[in-house]
């Protein structure tokens, strides 16, 4: 499979996964603000690694991953129904703290901007 087609398939899976996650009723998933950070599909489309992050931190992301693992059969079935793939990959969910990390960096940069403005006004 060409790299263009593989990239398109990966993006299709990510888009449909996002839609399916909104429909899940599991409280571990529904009660947290989770985001799909990255999707990696193997060359033969047998496995799909999905990286999940939560605004509340890594602990909430790990809890959401437990809920997603228990619903992986339903998720795989929904992806198969929505996309015309010959073989739907098995989903592997992993927690990551990238959203929390990004928010922390953003907060630190905003604090620097406030300090710089205060220094300019005193001069």
Residue boundaries of the structural domains of the chain = 3-97
Q: How far apart are the first and last CA of the chain?
A: 62
Note the pLDDT of residue 119.
Answer: 60
Q: Which option is the CATH number for 3-97: 3.40.50.150, 3.40.190.10, 3.30.930.10, 3.30.300.20? A: 3.30.300.20
Mean pLDDT (whole number) for 17-29? 90
pLDDT digits (tens, 9 = 90+) for 106-116: 888 888 877 66
C-alpha to C-alpha distances, 122 to 82, 108, 117, nearest whole angstrom: 60, 22, 9
CA–CA separation, 61 and 121 (whole Å) = 42
| Residue 69: burial class (beta carbons within 10 Å; 0-12, 13-18, 19+) | middle
Q: Could you give the strand order of the β-sheet that contains 47-54, starting from the edge strand earlier in sequence? A: 34-41, 47-54, 90-95
Closest to 54 in 3D by CA, of 38, 34, 39: 34
Model confidence at 102, pLDDT cuts 50, 70, 90, reads confident
- Min mean pLDDT across 17-31, 34-48, 52-66, 105-119 is at 105-119
Q: Mind listing the pLDDT tens digit for each residue in 66-90?
A: 999 999 999 999 999 999 888 889 9
Percentage of the chain surpassing pLDDT 90? 44
CA distance 117 to 123: 10
Q: What percent of the chain has pLDDT over 70?
A: 91
> What pTM was estimated for this model as a whole?
0.77
């Amino acid at each position: 499979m060409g790299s263009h087609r593989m990239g398109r398939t990966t993006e299709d899976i990510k888009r449909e996964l996002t839609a399916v996650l909104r429909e899940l009723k599991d409280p571990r998933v529904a009660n947290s603000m989770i985001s799909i950070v990255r999707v990696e599909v193997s060359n033969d489309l047998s496995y799909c690694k999905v990286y999940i992050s939560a605004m509340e931190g890594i602990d909430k992301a790990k809890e959401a991953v437990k809920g997603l693992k228990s619903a992986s059969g339903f998720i795989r079935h929904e992806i198969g129904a929505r996309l015309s793939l010959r073989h739907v990959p098995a989903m592997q969910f992993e927690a990551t703290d990238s959203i929390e990390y990004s928010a922390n960096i953003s907060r630190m940069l905003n604090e620097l901007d406030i300090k710089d403005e205060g220094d300019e006004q005193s001069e």
